[in-house]
Homo-oligomer: A and B are copies of this chain.
Amino acid sequence: MLAELEVIPVGTNSASISGLLAQVATLIDQSGLDYRVGPMGTVVEGDWDRVMNLAKQCHQAMLQSAARVMTTIRIDDRKDKPGTGRIIQKVQSLEAKVGKPLKK
Instruction: Give chain A's interface residues, CB within 8 Å of chain B.
Output: 2, 4, 6, 8-19, 21-22, 25-26, 29, 34-41, 43, 48, 52, 56, 59-60, 63, 66-80, 86-88, 90-91, 93-94, 96-98, 100, 102-104
Contacts and interface: CB of A to CB of B under 8 A. Distances in A.
A21 B94 contact: yes
Nearest to A4: B40
Looking at chain A's contact residues, the main secondary structure is: mixed
Contact of A97 (B22, B39, B72, B78): B22
A15 B10 contact: yes
Contact of A103 (B15, B34, B41): B34
A67 B78 contact: yes
